Structure 1
Amino acid sequence: MSTSGNTRYIGRPLRRLGDDRLITGTAAFLDDIRVPGLLHLALVRSPLAHALIRDVDSATALALPGVVAVVTGRELASWVSPLSSPPELLPDRRLKRYPLAVDRARFVGDPVAAVLAFDPVAAHEAAELVTVSYGELPAVVDAERAREAAAPLVHPDWPDNVAFRWEVTHGHLDRAFRQADATVSLRLVNQRIYAAFLEPRGAVARPDPAAGELTVWASTQVPHSLRSSIATALGLPEHQIRVIVPEVGGAFGSKGGVYPEYVLVAALAWQLGRPVKWVETRSESLLGTVHARDQVQLVRAAFRRDGTLLGLDVRILANLGAYNAATTALRTGLLAAGPYRVAALHVLVEGIMTNCTPLGSYRAA
C-alpha cells in the first residue's frame, strides 16, 4: 500500500464528511419533517403501574377545537394485529401487546389512548381532558419479588412471571468448591438506567392511498425491523412500506428496538388516510423509552491460594419490565467468565416480567 501523496491517511488530520450540515443547521431531524395536512398525535398514558382499563371517556376532549379523533386500545385492536412475541419466551407463554393497552395498563406510562389534532398544542391539551376509569391492581416492580410464587402476575394467562431461562454448565462445580482453598459470595445490583438521548423519540407517517403505499420517517436504529413490524401489524406486504431515518440525535442502542408508538403512528395514518406525526416530550421519554440493565447477580467463586479460579457460579435475575422480554441479560451471562480460564462454570439467567417500563438495550447491554 502506498503511503505517499493523497493516499496517506495515518497521521494526517482528515475533514469529517458528515459534519457540514450539522454545524450549519441544515441537517433534518425527525421533528423537522413537514408534510401537508399533518395530524399531531398525543398519548394518554397510565398513571398506575397495574390497572384494569374500565372506561375511556373522550367526549370533552373531542369538543376541543382542532381535535380530530380519539382512539382507544379496544378500537385499535379491531384493525391492527398485535406486535410479535420474542422467540426466546418459554414455550407456554406469549406476549400479546398492541400499540395501545386494550384491557389493562401494565406500567406507569403505558399508552391507553391516542389523541389526534391539527396542532400539537391542541393534541396535548385534549389528551389531558380524556378521562380514564381504572381499577387498580397489585403491582410488582422488583425482579426478586416477582420471581416468588405469590407475586402478582403481570400477564394473568402466564403461570408465573418468568419470561425466559438460559443456563449453561461446564465442568464439575461441586468438586471445584470442595477443593477450593477459599470461596467468595457476592450479591451485585446493576441499577436501572435511561439513555437520555438529546433527541427524544418520534415518527411521521404519510399514506398514499392511490398507490397503496405508506412512507414512515422515524428516529430509529432499525428501519428494516420497523418496516417488518408495521407490515405485520397492518397486514401489508413490506414492499408497500418505506421507512426513512433522518438525522438521529442520539440513540445509544435504546432506539434499536421497535417501539409501539412508531407502529401506532403508521397504523393511524393508514386507517385515517392522513399523515400523522408524534414527537415525545422529555417526561414521556423517561416513562416510555426502554430502560436498561436492572439486574441482580448472585455470584459464587472458588479459588486456590495462588489465585487460580477453580469454579464460578453465576445466577442473574433481569427485571424485564412489562413487555418486550428483552434478552440483553444473556450477554451478561455469555461474558460472565470474562477472559479467565475457568475449569467449572455454571450460569443461569432468568428474565422476569414486572410492572416497570420495558427493558431494552443501552450500549449493547
Structure 2
Amino acid sequence: MKEASDFHYIGKPLARKEDKRLVTGQGRYLDDIVVPGALHVSFVRSPHAHARILGISADAARELPGVTGVFTGEDLDKWTNRLRLAPPIEGLHPTEIETLPIDKVRFHGDPVAVVVARDRYVAEDAAELVEVEYEVLPAIASLEGAFAPGAALVDETLPSNLVSHQTFSAGNVAQRRGEAHAVVEASFYQHRQTHVPIETRGCAAVWDAGREHLTFHIGNQVPHPLRSQLAGRLGLSESQVTVMSPDVGGGFGQKIALYREELTVAALARQLNRPVRWREDRTENLMAASHARENLCRTRASVAADGRILGLELEITEDFGAYCFYPANYMSRVVAMILTGPYRIEDYAFEVKIALTNKCGNGPMRAPMAITSWVMDGTIDAIARQLGLDPLAVRRINMLREGDLPYRMATGEVLEDITPAETLESVVEAIDYEAFRKRQQALRAEGRYIGLGLCTVVESTTYGSAFYKSTGIPGSGHEAAWVRIEPSGVVNASVGLGATGQGYETAMSQAVAEGLGVDPSNVRIQIGNTDVAPYGMGSRGARGGTAGGGSLYLCAQKAREQVLRIAAHKLGLNSAQEIRLLDGQVERLINGEWSGTGLSLADIARTAYLDPTNLPEGVAPGLDFSLTYDPPPMTYSNSTHACEVEVDIATGALSIARYVVSEDCGTVINPIVVRGQQQGAIAMGLSGALLEEVVYDENGQNLSATFADYLVATACELPNFEILHHHTPNKRTPAGIKGMAEGGVMGAIGAVTNAVNDALAPFGVVADRQPLSPQYLRSLLRECSGTALHEGQKLT
C-alpha cells in the first residue's frame, strides 16, 4: 500500500475542471439540449390521496389547438411493461406498478393522464381541461393508520399494508436484559423529507423509426441501469436504447429510478414517432418526484452500571409511501445492519417493518441510512441521562479501539481500517470538552442554555456485489472503466458513473493520472453516455471514489504496464523494472537516481498506433484498455461530529455556535472535492434536521408543495464548518480509497439533536423527533414542570 507521500497526483488540491463551464453559464443541462420538432407533455395529477378512477373525459383538451393527444393508463399499459419487484427476500411482498394508474390513484399528485402538445404552455392549459371522475376512498396518512385494524389497503394485491417485515437476532438479548443493571429505552422519529435538486426531473426522447432506436436525454445518476430498465419496460433490446446524461443540477438519490413520467415520455416518442420532452415544475417535484426518510426507531439497551452496553434491541417502522420503486426493506435494512457502528456490541436484535401509505413513494436520499448514527449516539446519551453518567465517558467505554479491529459486527458486517476512537478524541480536544462544561454551568446560572452534541459515524460507502447477494437484493456492486491513450499521447478515459456535481471529471482524472503517470490536465473523463462509457452501476451512496476511482486507477495501471513494456523495448532493456512514467516522460533508475530517457508517452503512442512492427513480440497495436473492479462486500469511512448550540427558552429559537468534524475517508483523491462533499453533506443534514419537512394532513393532502411551506437552509442559517483530517487508507481497496459523501448527513442530524437535548437537560425534556423547529422546542418546554428554570423566568 502506497503512503500518501508516494502519490504524485492523487491528493493534490487541483481546481475542478468542470467549474469553468458551470460558473460561466456554459454547462449543458437538459434544457440546453435542442431537440427540433419536439412535442411537450404535461401530466394530469390526482387531487385525492386515495380514490378509484371512474372515468376520464378528455374531449375538451383534445379540441384545444396545438394538442396532439391525451393518453391514459390504459394506453400506456399497452405500450409498456409493468414494474414488478419480487426479490427473494423473506418477509418482503412482491409488488407491481402500472406505468400510469388504471383503476385507482394512491397519493395526492399521482399522474392520471398525460397531455401531448406543441409546447409546454398548451400542454398545461389542456391538462386543466381533462376531467376525471373519482370515488374517494379512505386515505392512509400515517404509520398508525396503516397498521390499524380494518385499514384500507393501499395496494389491493397485498394482504395488508405491511409490505415488508424482517427480524434478526445475534447472541441472547433476553438474557442480557436479565443481567443488566438497567434497561434504557429511547425513541427517534425522523420526519419525511425530499431531495430538492436545483434542477427538477425532466427528459427528452427521440425515436428513430428507421433504425428502431431510442435516444433518451435525462439527468440521471445511473445511466446504464436506467438504460436496462427503459429497454425492458419498452420491450426493446439494450442496443436499441442510448441514454445520454448531460450536466445535472443535483440528484441526491432522486435521479436513480426510472420514474413513470419518464417511461411515459419514452413510450409516447415511440408511438407518435415524434420527439417528446418533459420538465416538471417545482410543485410537481415537491409533491410527486420521490420522498425519503419518515421512520420511527425505538431502542432498548441493557447496560451495566458504568454504561457499558450488554445488549441492544432495535425496532424500525418506515412509511414507504404508495409505490415501491425499490425493494421496500432497502433503506431500513441497511440502518439495522450497521446500527451498532463504532461500538462494541455483540448481543443485538432488530425488527424492521415497512408500511405502504397514501403518500408519494419513498426512495434513497443522500444517506438513506441517515438516522443510524443519531439513533446509536442518541441511545448513548439516553444511557448517560438515566445513569447520571458523562456522555463522553459512556462513549469511551463502548468505543471500538484499534486493537479490536478487524471487528465483526453482530450482523456479520466486518469493520476494518476505521478510526472512530481517534476521530472522537480529536474532536473532543478541538472543542475543549472540559472547558465547555464549565462554561455551560456558568451560563445556566445566567439563564442561558447551551448544549454540546457528539455523534460518531461509521458510514457504509461502497457496496460490493457480495453485499447485495448476501441481502437478497438483485444487482451488482462492480464498476467498469476504460483508458485509451491516443496516438498523440493524450488520454481519454471513461467509467460508468453518473455525475451530478461531485467533481468527477477532476478527481477521476487524478486517479487515471496516478495509475498511468501523466499530468491530470492531459486526461479527459467521458461519462454519462451509455454508447461511450462502459456498463457500470453509476453513482449512489459514496461509491464514486472507491468503485469509480478505484477501477480507473487499476485500469490506468494496466495501461502503464503496456506502455513501459514498449518503452523498455525501445530502450533496448530486458525488462521494465527500472523505468517509470512520470508527467508523461519515461525515466530510468540509474545509481539510485531517476534520469530522463528522452522518450515520452507521445513517442510510445505513435509507435503503438503508427509503427506496430517496432512493438515487442506479442504486443498488439494500439493502447486501449478496459477493466472491471468489484469492491469488497462493504467499505466504511468514519467521522465524529461536535455541535454547540444555544436554545432560547423563551422562543424555542435554536442557534449553532460552533460545528467541528473530524473525518477519516481514507486516501483523499482531491482535497477540494472532499471538502465540498463534507460541507454539502453537513449542510444537507442540518437543513433536514432543522427546517425541511413534507407535511400531509389526515386526508393525505400534501401541505408542503411550495418553498413557502417546505423550508430549506441557506448559507445564512448554517454555521462555519471546522474540518479536521484524520485520513488512514483502506488496505483492501485501490490506492486505499474509502469513499465519503453521506456521513456528513448522518453526523449532522445526530450532533445537532444531541446538542439540543444537552441544552435542555435542566428541564428534563428530550427532543426525540425532527425537525427541531422553534414550535416543537417550545412545546417540549411547556410540558416541563418549570422547576428547573432559572429563578425569575417563566414559560408562557
TM-score range, shorter chain: over 0.9
TM-aligned CA deviation for residue 155 of structure 1: 1.0
Q: 1:238 aligned to 2:275?
A: no
Q: What's the CA shift string for 1:119-169, capped at 9, x where partnerless?
A: 000001111111010110111121233123421111112111122222220
Between the aligned partners of 2:13 and 2:165, the Cα distance in structure 1 is: 50
Consecutive unaligned residues of structure 2, counting only runs of 5 or more, are 369-796
Show the counterpart of 1:357. 360
Equivalent pair of 2:91/2:166 in contact (CA under 8 Å)? no
Between the aligned partners of 2:186 and 2:352, the Cα distance in structure 1 is: 16
Between the aligned partners of 1:340 and 1:91, the Cα distance in structure 2 is: 29
Between 1:347-356 and 1:87-96, the stretch displaced more is 87-96
> Could you tell me the percent identity over the aligned residues?
39
Between 1:302-311 and 1:73-82, the stretch displaced more is 73-82
Q: 1:142 aligned to 2:134?
A: no
1:356 partner amino acid: K
Show the counterpart of 1:222. 222
TM-aligned CA deviation for residue 364 of structure 1: 3.1
TM-score between the two structures when normalised by the length of structure 2: 0.44
SS of aligned partner of 1:321: coil
**Aligned ranges for residues 22-101 of structure 1 at < 5 Å?**
22-87=22-87, 93-101=93-101
Between 1:337-346 and 1:48-57, the stretch displaced more is 337-346
Change (3 A) 1:294 1:66: same
**Aligned ranges for residues 266-305 of structure 1 at < 5 Å?**
266-305=266-305
**Aligned ranges for residues 299-314 of structure 1 at < 5 Å?**
299-314=299-314
Show the counterpart of 1:116. 116
Show the counterpart of 1:17. 17
Between 1:251-260 and 1:102-111, the stretch displaced more is 251-260
Show the counterpart of 2:156. 156
Change (3 A) 1:164 1:196: same
Q: What's the CA shift string for 1:18-53, capped at 9, x where partnerless?
A: 112112212111122221110101000111110001
2:200 partner amino acid: P
Equivalent pair of 1:293/1:329 in contact (CA under 8 Å)? no
Show the counterpart of 1:179. 179
**Aligned ranges for residues 328-347 of structure 1 at < 5 Å?**
328-347=331-350
Consecutive unaligned residues of structure 1, counting only runs of 5 or more, are none
Between 1:273-282 and 1:139-148, the stretch displaced more is 139-148
Aligned residue pairs, count: 363
TM-aligned CA deviation for residue 254 of structure 1: 1.7
Q: What's the CA shift string for 1:103-132, capped at 9, x where partnerless?
A: 100011110000000000000111111101
**Aligned ranges for residues 123-134 of structure 1 at < 5 Å?**
123-134=123-134
Change (3 A) 1:343 1:14: closer
- Highest Rg: 1 or 2? 2
Between the aligned partners of 1:273 and 1:200, the Cα distance in structure 2 is: 26
SS of aligned partner of 2:71: strand
SS of aligned partner of 2:16: coil
TM-score between the two structures when normalised by the length of structure 1: 0.94
TM-aligned CA deviation for residue 94 of structure 1: 3.0
Change (3 A) 1:308 1:92: closer
Equivalent pair of 2:70/2:114 in contact (CA under 8 Å)? yes
SS of aligned partner of 1:184: strand
Q: What's the CA shift string for 1:317-339, capped at 9, x where partnerless?
A: 11110111542111211122222
Between the aligned partners of 1:363 and 1:298, the Cα distance in structure 2 is: 23
TM-aligned CA deviation for residue 17 of structure 1: 1.1
TM-aligned CA deviation for residue 202 of structure 1: 0.4
Equivalent pair of 2:226/2:256 in contact (CA under 8 Å)? no
Between the aligned partners of 2:137 and 2:144, the Cα distance in structure 1 is: 19
Q: Which has the higher helix share?
A: 2
Between 1:288-297 and 1:204-213, the stretch displaced more is 288-297
Q: What's the CA shift string for 1:300-354, capped at 9, x where partnerless?
A: 1110001110111101011110111542111211122222122311111121111
Equivalent pair of 2:302/2:309 in contact (CA under 8 Å)? yes
Between 1:47-56 and 1:84-93, the stretch displaced more is 84-93
Equivalent pair of 2:92/2:163 in contact (CA under 8 Å)? no
Show the counterpart of 2:198. 198
Alignment RMSD: 2.0
Q: Which structure would you say has the larger RCO, counting Cα contacts within 8 Å and 6 or more residues apart?
A: 1
SS of aligned partner of 2:54: strand
Change (3 A) 1:8 1:174: closer
